[in-house]
Amino acid sequence: MEEKFASAAIRHFEDADTLATAERLDGAGHLVGFSAECAIKHGVLSLRDDVSSLHGHFPDLIDIAKRHLKQRLHHGLYTILKNPALMQGWKVEGRYSEDGTITQQQYDMWRHQARTLIYAARLRG
């Protein structure tokens, strides 16, 4: 199955907002993290013809993406990836956490970072 990171990034972002509006922050936080991951994967793959696929999750995905970008290829995305607070605290294992684990402040921070990644990956202009 072909990976559609671009559409998945937007879909997860919008679904996260729907859940956040319903005050379901744990699901919203999880999806917004996937949105950010998909935006990074799309951004890297759109710039590198020699990379057929990109796997991994935060925090490892950040180092993987930086290695593929090698700083010179896409300055905006690379600059965002250098931020040590990028998606801080988000882990794929969060899908198994108890309800009430994600705070509004965490969600808002992750949402802002995911939105920034979506724009840097040129998924929205």
Read off the pLDDT of residues 92-115 as tens digits, 9 standing for 90 and up: 998 898 899 999 999 999 999 999
Question: Which has more pLDDT, 70 or 89?
Answer: 89
pLDDT above 90 for 72: no
Helix residue ranges per DSSP H, 48-121? 60-69, 75-81, 104-120
pTM of the model: 0.93
pLDDT band at 53 (very low <50, low <70, confident <90, very high): confident
Q: Where are the beta strands (DSSP E) in the chain?
A: none
State the pLDDT at residue 71: 66
> What are the structural domains, with CATH classification, of the chain?
5-120 (1.20.120)
What is the share, in percent, of the chain residues with pLDDT greater than 70? 95
pLDDT band at 75 (very low <50, low <70, confident <90, very high): confident
The set of residues, in sequence order, having a beta carbon less than 8 Å from that of 31 and lying 6+ positions away, is 12, 13, 15, 16, 19
pLDDT digits (tens, 9 = 90+) for 5-42: 999 999 999 999 999 999 999 999 999 999 999 999 99
